[in-house]
Amino acid sequence: STPVIALGDLGHEMVARGYRVMMFDLFGRGYSDAPNDLAYDTRLFVTQFLLVLASSGISWTTAPGFHLVGYSLGGGLSVAFTRYFPHLVRSLSLVTPGGLIRQHHVGWLSWLYYNSGLLPERLAKYLVRRRIRPEPKPAHAAGGSDIMAAESERIIKRDGDSNGGPGFNSAAISKTRPHVTVSSVVAWQVDCHEGFVMAFMSTIRNAPIYAPQEDWKVLSKILEVRRHDGKTHISDAEFGAGLEGGKILVVLGKSDGVIVMDETIEDAKSVLGHDAIEFIILEGGHELPITSSQSVAQSIEGFWKSK
């Protein structure tokens, strides 16, 4: 739910290291339009990746391709894009990525609002709007286990579905804008972006957020080909170049309450294999690339240079 403006410091870190960077808001977030007559599923977002690449006057798709970095929801979407266009992706780095979140993290209110079909859509939109709008000053009490909501044992107003924990909500989006927090930016989207709430609801319903995800299984086969130089039953001709070394990077926050470190490591290894992933664990929560942009940039660059 957080627009890409929150990753501005990370972008500047990479530029300072000599890299050309292109960033964009996913449909329905920040300054991007909200095509709410369409489902916010893998097809829509992968198409958006291609539209972004086509919008640039610079060719990003010539060999050896480009480095793809995905954060949170963008992590799961980056896996989906790489599954279909592995020859375009020189390397894949995922920062606290969605896509492998276990189903038991879905709370009953999330099920009721998004997937039960029991509520009229107009009522569901009203309730979700209230639910995901953060408090002006994020609460410092942690919620429960609902991945999209800080559920408590008593029904009291919390941070809502966009909650990433108190550290996430209160994180300043930039060193140059210390007074602007993630919480205030999400609140702006709820209040001012007419398509945001419906986009958010459709994303929860349709996007690759929760496990199991077929995209990761297909990516595993592609990475295996890269590691074994086409000696498996899948030929290089089928996938072309890309994904140097047959390994991806996953950066996780030790105290992330959204993308649980231990679960993600276990599940990613299970689906991709131990040889297909390099994990880097940093201090912090889901706000990791926002508040620790230098450490994240160093981790990503180190992975690129190791190939």
pLDDT of residue 137: 58
pLDDT higher than threshold 90 for residue 120? yes
| pLDDT of amino acid 242 | 86
Average pLDDT score over residue span 103-112:
90
Q: What pLDDT does 163 receive?
A: 62
Phi, psi of 165 (to 5 degrees): 105, 160
Angle at 269 between CA 264 and CA 272, to 5 degrees: 115
Mean pLDDT of the chain: 88
Which pLDDT value is given to residue 153? Answer: 34
In this prediction, residue 286 has a pLDDT band, given cuts at 50, 70 and 90, of very high
Task: Please give the DSSP secondary-structure letter assigned to residue 210.
Answer: B
Q: In sequence order, what are the residues at sequence separation of 6 or more whose Cβ sits closer than 8 angstroms to the Cβ of residue 63?
A: 241
**Whole-number percent of the chain with pLDDT over 70:** 86
Determine the distance from the C-alpha atom of residue 287 to the mean position of all C-alpha atoms in its chain, rounded to a whole number: 12
Does residue 24 have a pLDDT over 70? yes
4-46+58-103+208-305 classified as CATH 3.40.50.1820: yes
| CATH 3.40.50.1820 segments of the chain | 4-46+58-103+208-305
- pLDDT tens by residue, 69-102: 999 999 999 999 999 999 999 999 999 999 999 9
- The pair of structure tokens assigned to 204 is 């929860």
Q: Which residue has the higher pLDDT, 232 or 202?
A: 202
pLDDT tens track for 130-154:
999 987 654 333 333 344 443 333 3
Q: What is the pLDDT of residue 229?
A: 66
pLDDT of residue 149: 42
Mean pLDDT throughout 113-125? 91
Angle at alpha carbon of residue 194, lines to 205 and 45, rounded to 5°: 45
